[in-house]
Amino acid sequence: RAMATRLLRVPPPEELLRPLAVPERLLLGPGPSNVPRRIQAAGGRQILGHMHAEMLQVMDEIKAGIQYAFQTRNRLTLAISGSGHSAMEAALLNLLEQGDTVLVAINGIWGQRAADIARRLGANVCELLKPPGKYFTPQDIEQGLVQHRPLVLFITHGESSTGVLQPLEGLGQLCHRSVRGGPPEVTTGDLGLGVYVCWAFLWLCCAGGSWCQVWRARGSDTGPTAPSCARGCWTWGLSSLWRRRWVQDKPTTTTTEQGQREDTALCSWRCAWAAFDAREKSPPSVMLCPGSVLGSPGAVGLKVPQQARLPTITTVRVPEGYNWKDIIAFLMENHGMEVAGGLGPTVGKVLRIGLMGCNSTGDNVDRVLRALQDALKRC
């Protein structure tokens, strides 16, 4: 053993010999959110094999929760472990082939990154632009569809970098009329969307790094046929492997590692969907009034219209003379609280305050307001 130790070029890291210490913090940024104890406990149970019948049953129950939330019966409804960027990439990968035209509506960082992903896939990317804090009207979308005749429209529903909630009503019908000259065959909910992607770990308060997708069926209940470019992708292609695991109820996965990583989170996802159903039966979640943060309506830096305010993320202007990094560091060190700065086009301009899931309470609103007032006095 001594000889083996002498042969090691890199010694054992001393820091790993210390007990793990994770601080308790209130996560009031744009994500992740604090995970309730019950969901934590569910994810900490002993894992089963990723092809066991019990895990497939858990997957069916998760699918039922997603279908309830999206008000759809589409069978190609799935939840996968991965980052939000992997969710966007998976959606675009399965919709686009090289040379296809995609129209990307950009009013914040998520549209910018979707355009980047599409370009890397070899698509012809056309951009529809709005300043941060603004949203797209049906007339804007229709004009872009008529001008560019895209195969795919990408639009961000909740632009967390700016605090804008994009209205989606009527956009699906515009797209289907533009491409096919007729109404949609089957809708996702009642919006006529082709595919809807969301980051479950943000607002569902479950394990980090999870996302779900709901695909619009085309003439059947098994979902769309993956284009040839997606068939060449092992990880995110919605070809036979994903379809067999989530749609056809056959015990398979892309890799053992991928399946085990998912299965460690499946139980917590299942518990989170049950909690989501319970929250729907309770009073609506609270919202943070932007003007209350710094004491006046003028505190809203991006002047987001009231009808397009994202209820989960509030953006407020960084006051003149303050460094946003100082405010965030002060809140973390003195109040055990995370509030985020801007992202993409809003870097250095705003603070982003998140109220999602179990964190969306009146007590947390009061707590973050007191902490910000303290920061403004002392930074």
Residue 327 maps to which CATH number? 3.90.1150.10
* Least confident residue range of 56-60, 224-228, 333-337: 224-228
**Tell me: the pLDDT tens digits for 333-379?**
999 999 999 999 999 999 999 988 888 888 998 999 999 999 999 99
**Tell me: the pLDDT tens digits for 231-271?**
556 667 665 556 666 766 555 554 444 554 566 677 877 88
- Provide the residue type at 60 as one letter: D
In a domain, 6, yes or no: no
In a domain, 307, yes or no: yes
Q: Are residues 62 and 164 in the same domain?
A: yes
What is the predicted pLDDT for the residue at 79?
Answer: 81
pLDDT reading at 323 higher than 90: yes
Select from 32, 46, 47 the least CA-distant residue to 262: 47
Rounded to the nearest angstrom, the gap between the alpha carbon of residue 366 and the centroid of all alpha carbons in its chain is 26
- Which of the two residues, 237 and 128, has the higher pLDDT score? 128
Q: Are residues 369 and 263 in the same domain?
A: no
Q: Are residues 267 and 292 in the same domain?
A: no
What is the predicted pLDDT for the residue at 220?
Answer: 39
Q: Are residues 148 and 249 in the same domain?
A: yes
HEC sequence for the chain:
CHHHHHHCCCCCCHHHHCCCCCCCCEECCCCCCCCCHHHHHHHCCCCCCCCCHHHHHHHHHHHHHHHHHHCCCCCCEEEEECCHHHHHHHHHHHHCCCCCEEEEEECCHHHHHHHHHHHHCCCEEEEEECCCCCCCCHHHHHHHHHHHCCCEEECCCEECCCCEECCCCCHHHHHHHHHHCCCCCCCCCCCCCCEEEEEHHHHCCCCCCEEEEEECCCCCCCCCCCCHHHHCCCCCCCCHHHHHHHCCCCCCCCCHHHHHHHHHHHHHHHHHHHHHHHHHCCCCCCCCCHHHHCCCHHHCCCCCCHHHECCCEEEEECCCCCCHHHHHHHHHHHHCEECEECCHHHCCCEEEEECCHHHCCHHHHHHHHHHHHHHHHHC
pLDDT reading at 53 higher than 60: yes
In a domain, 11, yes or no: no
What is the arithmetic mean of pLDDT over 8-15? Answer: 86
Last residue of a domain, one of 260, 279, 298: 279
Cβ neighbours for 338, distance < 8 A, ≥ 6 positions apart: 25, 26, 27, 28, 29, 328, 331, 332
Q: Are residues 43 and 181 in the same domain?
A: yes
Q: Are residues 365 and 258 in the same domain?
A: no
How large a percentage of the chain has pLDDT more than 90?
Answer: 32
Residue 189's domain comprises: 37-217+233-279
What is the arithmetic mean of pLDDT over 220-231? Answer: 45
Q: Are residues 121 and 192 in the same domain?
A: yes
Q: What is the CATH number of the domain that holds 166?
A: 3.40.640.10
In a domain, 8, yes or no: no
What is the arithmetic mean of pLDDT over 29-45? Answer: 84
Q: Are residues 155 and 87 in the same domain?
A: yes
| Domains of the chain: total | 2
Q: Are residues 170 and 307 in the same domain?
A: no
In a domain, 224, yes or no: no
- Which of the two residues, 217 and 84, has the higher pLDDT score? 84
**Backbone phi and psi for residue 317, each to the nearest 5 degrees, phi listed first:** -65, 140
218 is in an annotated binding site: no
How large a percentage of the chain has pLDDT more than 70?
Answer: 73
* Least confident residue range of 83-97, 112-126, 162-176, 196-210: 196-210
Last residue of a domain, one of 225, 249, 279: 279
> Whole-angstrom Cα distance, residue 176 to residue 166?
19
What is the predicted pLDDT for the residue at 301?
Answer: 47
- Which of the two residues, 232 and 130, has the higher pLDDT score? 130
Rounded to the nearest angstrom, the gap between the alpha carbon of residue 206 and the centroid of all alpha carbons in its chain is 12
In a domain, 353, yes or no: yes
Q: Are residues 186 and 135 in the same domain?
A: yes
Q: Are residues 237 and 369 in the same domain?
A: no
pLDDT band at 28 (very low <50, low <70, confident <90, very high): very high
What is the arithmetic mean of pLDDT over 306-314? Answer: 84
**Tell me: the pLDDT tens digits for 200-221?**
767 677 766 677 777 765 543 4
Last residue of a domain, one of 250, 279, 308: 279
What is the predicted pLDDT for the residue at 186?
Answer: 36
> Whole-angstrom Cα distance, residue 50 to residue 223?
24
In a domain, 69, yes or no: yes
What is the arithmetic mean of pLDDT over 270-278? Answer: 75
Query: Which pTM value belongs to this model?
Result: 0.83
Longest dimension (CA), the chain: 76
Q: Whole-number mean pLDDT of the chain?
A: 79
> Whole-angstrom Cα distance, residue 324 to residue 97?
42
pLDDT band at 275 (very low <50, low <70, confident <90, very high): confident
Q: Are residues 165 and 142 in the same domain?
A: yes
CA dihedral 331, 334, 336, 340 (to 10 degrees): 10
- Which of the two residues, 75 and 133, has the higher pLDDT score? 133
What is the predicted pLDDT for the residue at 278?
Answer: 61
* Least confident residue range of 64-68, 106-110, 155-159, 269-273: 269-273
In a domain, 18, yes or no: no
